[in-house]
Amino acid sequence: GAGVSQTPSNKVTEKGKYVELRCDPISGHTALYWYRQSLGQGPEFLIYFQGTGAADDSGLPNDRFFAVRPEGSVSTLKIQRTERGDSAVYLCASSLRVKGADSGANVLTFGAGSRLTVL
Amino acid sequence: KNEVEQSPQNLTAQEGEFITINCSYSVGISALHWLQQHPGGGIVSLFMLSSGKKKHGRLIATINIQEKHSSLHITASHPRDSAVYICAVGTNFGNEKLTFGTGTRLTIIP
């Protein structure tokens, strides 16, 4: 696609429910990132995929959070037994990931985010 | 102490003024990113740099690696520049796992 697409754009759920958030990155982008942004804060890293594998999941807050990218394109962030503290905007970003720290291809393209509200 | 600190947190200026937003970081970095976030909108990448200076239109970003400091400048500011500007650093040459500052909210008054 032309940009990074995230669905749903808004999700309201009740405490204890299961939620899935989807990210469709730019076609051909091998690297995919999930970040979480709480109100008034900068985004915080959750997990990074290179291809199909989770290269770094050190930002996932606990075992209620899980993400997959089975075919190396679309990724799903899954949250079990949601809590009110999970309320945030969940951002997905992708990049081409080529060698060279200053390569323009490694600039991240962000989706518009999925706003999750847990009541 | 946050690894990435921005100043000021809020900035209001008149249209046409020269704007400077500062970012200091405390870790070794592979690259520094400047991003723009409009209210209710997504995040747009403005610059990624690891040395020197980059310019795009009215925006200029500079970085001093020795001093661990970067600045974002906006010349001839316009109300449409009103947004939150976020500095973020990557510490690994192998990926764009970023640590973000809390942002600078810029308001340009016509």
Nearest CA in chain A to B2: A42
Rounded to 5°, angle at Cα B16 from B15 and B21: 90
Of A56, A59, A111, the CB nearest to B42: A111
pLDDT digits (tens, 9 = 90+) for A59-96: 999 999 999 999 989 999 999 999 999 999 999 999 88
Please tell me the distance from the alpha carbon of residue A108 to that of residue A92, in angstroms, as a whole number: 10
CA A59 to chain centre: 11
Per the structure block, which two tokens stand in for B82?
């009103």
Q: Which of residues 82-101 of B touch A (CB under 8 A)?
A: 86, 88, 90, 93, 95-101
pLDDT digits (tens, 9 = 90+) for B24-65: 999 888 899 999 998 777 899 999 998 999 999 999 999 999
CB contact under 8 A, A107 and B97: no
CB contact under 8 A, B42 and A106: no
Assess contact for A25 and A92: CB atoms under 8 A. yes
CB contact under 8 A, B96 and A95: yes
